[in-house]
A = this chain, B = another copy of it.
Amino acid sequence: MRGLSRGDVNKDGSTPIYSQVEALILDMIETGKLSTGERAPSEREVATSLGISRMTARAAISKLVSDGYLHTVAGKGTFVSDPKLRQDLLELTSFTEDMLRRGLRPGARLLGLEVADQVPLKVRRTMGVSGDSELISVRRLRTADGRPMCLETSYLPRAKVPWLLEEDLQSGSLYRILESRSIELAKAEEHLEATLATEEESELLTVPAGSPALLIERITYTDRDEPIEYVKSLYRGDRYRFSAMLFKKRKKGGGS
């Protein structure tokens, strides 16, 4: 009745068992076979029904717990967490994904795509290039439901994405393009501050000059820890809000 049986995992060593189990349970959650608040199969249940050891089952479940999909109550069991709680976890997403998640239709108007000639020193240093002409700049007005949402200026290393100048950045997501070229994004450092829109910026964003705006600076890194993109995004203060979930870290002590 549970849907987990020995055939659901292969033990040929090609994929770690715990990772297969993780995918199995995740699938049950996402297809609704397990719904919010419901008790997930216990560690012992998973272990015996799949014919694996309890520690292996536990490894899978622990991962799902730390990813926010499940939470445990000692003595009672493991339960499916509220999706609201896991969505607000901070995650690296593209503008496109971000808007879709907010229920808005993402769009873009290309303002410039060229080999950058005037790059701020800070950007050059961050991207690890010295001279000019080593970065490609992309300037786009991003829209949500057709209305201007933010003004985005990206810099990418020409050496790593020489084909970028030929791409259609009007419609698609830059991140999707990068991934289609096998550039895997892994993490990003993001800085947010409040500022005012300049005359030019406010015109593009269709807000009054001097309106509040959220300036987001992002440095995106590949899975090999190389910076692949530096972006400055200026969001309309009245339409955009950045959300995050913060967690308390360990307290010191307890030892000896």
Contacts and interface: CB of A to CB of B under 8 A. Distances in A.
Interface in A36-80: 66-67
Interface string A218-251: 1000000000000000010100111111111110
Given A15-B254, A246-B90, A255-B20, A235 B189 contact: no
Interface residues of A, number: 53
A103 interface: no
Task: Tell me the number of copies of this protein.
Answer: 2
A199 interface: no
A209 to B, nearest CB: 12
Contacts of A213: 194, 212
Interface stretch (A112-120, A128-136, A161-169, A180-188): A180-188
B90 A192 contact: no
A235 B212 CA distance: 13
B214 A247 contact: no
Given A15-B254, A20-B254, A255-B20, A91 B247 contact: yes
Contacts of A153: none
A187 B254 contact: no
B245 A188 contact: yes
Contacts of A83: none
A191 interface: yes
Interface string A195-213: 1100000000000001011
Per CB-CB distance, the 7 closest pairs between chain A and chain B, nearest first, are: A23-B255, A194-B237, A92-B246, A194-B214, A194-B194, A194-B212, A192-B242
